[in-house]
């Protein structure tokens, strides 16, 4: 007797194929059974949820190295555990009914992500912020990712009809999953978030998965399919009317969850701009000269110092935020050339729509990355360059390096001033590195904490001033921001104090190839508890 080919013969050595009951022949021949497409969609949904995860939790715990570490780790853990469970389920009871039930559960679990407002607002106030990030991320995204991770092994099991082609079938399915992941990543990051917002995206993922689940659970039963579709349509209408899909953001962009609300401050109403979880600016619609933040008052005093020689100033702002200080300059120094480089067009639009920035303002805005702007050959010079692009502990490191400082100097007048505000804690690792790096470009670097107790505070804001011309410290004593208090003269550290600060730890020059800013700020971030 010869050996019989298991794919065609009936000999004793034939390899058994999966039971036709797993995927009925009629369904397998229909257009509904598309295993590659099923895995493509489910994998795309996972990556969509991963991309929106950082944006969804940002208003509650901010955006940092720890945020994305937690998101990526939780999603990968969910996928891995889901793959394992999916393989176990596939070997025991792979069927279209099981697949439909899994898809239905994945859709319901995705709906649970929209409970972020309830969960994010109830985190214990005494937990370290890192623990809060990990717990919130896991509570929202771990279960949906586990369930979605079970789909690929189940589909692979159902798709294999010929064991001689198992490798090709499984390889094709997992390739489809990878392509789906890529498509979900690009679509979400480049298009969906700015078009729809994260809450609508999550609801769209949930509805897609629920419809797919219904398709496999009630296949061929058009009445039940129509009823399920009507229920989903009604649910979508309900949650839309209730405002559950709007989320906490006044406006959501690819960069920030932007929130604006009004509050009484110092006897007058101010508009508060929050980018993710950080209050970025306080803006008075009636009085553009009203400054609330200490660093803005120091900026005002430095501006007045520079205006002593010429009140027609050329100023460049790196970061627009609420446009509070550009409006301040426009009011007090009319005729000055005021330029703002703000990477997020949505922030600029909110400043025009809600924060009193007139459409007829002489302030010129460039919506691009500051590094790209300053990499151009200088067409003019600025008397003042003011940095305000750092958002809490989320620091765009490429704006801290010697290479960037060199570009600032190229655009700065010979006696111009470059000043920037940063956040650091009592260890001052980032502060020391930034001072040391600025000294590689500028002859004179000054440091001014905005609070007197900066040595004891968990976090403090500092203004760093760099120039090739020395400051006249005596002249600063007569300058204030309209409140009668010369804050800069009071707070500025002496050269000996700055040198002593630098001697307290290792000095790092921040370069385009080595700028461990997140790691330097990590101790501050870990020590800060939620507010």
Provide block-wise average pLDDT over 10 residues at a time, the chain (531 residues). 43 47 55 86 96 88 83 96 95 89 94 78 66 88 96 91 79 94 94 88 93 83 73 75 75 89 88 88 92 93 92 94 95 95 95 94 95 93 93 82 97 96 92 97 97 90 96 92 88 95 94 90 65 40
**Contact of 81 with 115, CB cutoff 8 Å:** no
Taking only the tens place, the pLDDT of each residue in 107-157 is: 999 998 988 766 766 666 567 777 888 888 999 999 999 999 999 999 999
pLDDT for position 29? 52
Strand 460-467 relative to strand 444-449, pairing? antiparallel
Per-residue 3-state assignment (H helix, E strand, C coil) for 186-247: HHHHHHHHHHHCHHHHHHHHHHHHHHHHHHHHCCCCHHHHHHHHHHHHHHHHHHHHCCCCCC
**Contact of 349 with 318, CB cutoff 8 Å:** no
- Cα–Cα distances in Å, from 349 out to 90, 254, 353, 367? 51, 14, 6, 11
Taking only the tens place, the pLDDT of each residue in 223-242 is: 767 777 777 777 777 777 66
The token pair that represents 108 in the structure block: 């319901």
**Contact of 518 with 397, CB cutoff 8 Å:** yes
Extents of the domains making up the chain:
25-248, 289-527
CATH topology of domain 25-248: Growth Hormone; Chain: A; (1.20.1250)
CATH topology of domain 289-527: Rossmann fold (3.40.50)
Strands (E), 362-500: 364-366, 382-387, 412-424, 444-449, 460-467
pLDDT for position 6? 42
The token pair that represents 396 in the structure block: 């765009």
Helix axis angle, 222-241 to 198-217, nearest 10°? 160
- Cα–Cα distances in Å, from 525 out to 18, 146, 168, 409, 416? 54, 29, 48, 31, 34
Residue at token pair 């999916």: 86
Residue 180: alpha-carbon gap to chain centroid: 22
Q: CA 404 to CA 371: how far, in whole Å?
A: 7
pLDDT for position 120? 62
Task: For residue 257, list its beta bridge partners.
Answer: 252
Single out the residue of 295, 298, 299 nearest to residue 315, CA to CA.
299
């Amino acid at each position: 007797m010869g050996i019989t080919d298991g794919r065609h013969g009936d000999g004793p050595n034939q390899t058994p194929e999966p039971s036709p009951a797993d995927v009925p022949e009629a369904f397998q021949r229909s257009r509904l059974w598309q295993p590659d497409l099923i895995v493509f969609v489910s994998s795309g949904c996972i990556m969509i949820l991963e991309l929106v995860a950082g944006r969804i939790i940002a208003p509650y715990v901010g955006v940092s190295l720890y945020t994305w570490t937690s998101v990526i780790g939780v999603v990968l853990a969910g996928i891995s555990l889901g793959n394992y469970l999916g393989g176990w389920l596939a070997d025991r009871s792979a069927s279209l009914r099981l697949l439909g039930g899994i898809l239905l559960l994945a859709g319901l679990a995705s709906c649970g992500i929209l409970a972020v407002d309830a969960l994010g607002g109830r985190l214990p106030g005494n937990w370290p912020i890192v623990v809060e990030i990990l717990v919130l991320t896991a509570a929202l995204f771990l279960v949906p990712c586990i369930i979605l991770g079970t789909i690929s092994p189940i589909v692979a099991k159902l798709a294999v009809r010929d064991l001689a082609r198992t490798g090709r079938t499984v390889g094709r399915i997992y390739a489809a999953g990878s392509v789906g992941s890529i498509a979900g990543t690009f679509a979400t990051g480049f298009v969906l978030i700015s078009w729809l917002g994260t809450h609508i995206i999550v609801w769209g993922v949930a509805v897609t998965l629920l419809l797919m689940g219904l398709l496999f659970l009630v296949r061929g039963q058009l009445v039940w399919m129509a009823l399920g579709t009507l229920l989903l349509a009604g649910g979508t209408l309900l949650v839309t009317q209730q405002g559950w899909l709007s989320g906490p953001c006044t406006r959501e962009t690819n960069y920030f969850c932007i929130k604006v609300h009004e509050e009484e401050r110092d006897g007058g109403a101010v508009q508060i701009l929050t980018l993710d979880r950080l209050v970025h600016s306080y803006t008075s619609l009636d009085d553009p000269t009203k400054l609330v933040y200490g660093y803005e008052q120091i900026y005002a005093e430095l501006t007045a110092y520079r205006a002593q020689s010429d009140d027609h100033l050329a100023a460049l702002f790196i970061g627009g935020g609420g446009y509070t200080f550009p409006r301040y300059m426009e009011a007090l120094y009319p005729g000055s050339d005021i330029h703002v480089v703000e990477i997020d067009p949505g922030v600029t639009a909110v400043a025009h729509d809600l924060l009193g920035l007139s459409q007829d303002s002489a302030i010129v805005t460039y919506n691009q990355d500051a590094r790209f702007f300053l990499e151009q050959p200088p067409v003019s010079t600025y008397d003042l360059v003011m940095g305000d692009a750092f958002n809490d502990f989320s620091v765009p490191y490429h704006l801290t390096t010697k290479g960037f400082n060199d570009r600032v100097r190229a655009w700065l007048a010979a006696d111009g001033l470059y000043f920037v505000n940063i956040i650091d804690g009592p260890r001052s690792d980032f502060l020391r590195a930034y001072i040391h790096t600025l000294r590689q470009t500028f002859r004179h670097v000054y440091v001014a904490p905005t609070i007197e107790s900066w040595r004891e505070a968990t976090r403090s804001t500092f203004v760093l001033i760099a120039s090739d011309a020395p400051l006249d410290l005596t002249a600063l004593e007569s300058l204030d921001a309209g409140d009668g208090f010369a804050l800069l003269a009071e707070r500025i550290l002496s050269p000996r104090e700055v040198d002593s600060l630098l001697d307290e730890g290792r000095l790092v020059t921040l370069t385009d190839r080595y700028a461990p800013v997140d790691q330097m700020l990590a101790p501050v971030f870990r020590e800060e508890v939620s507010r």
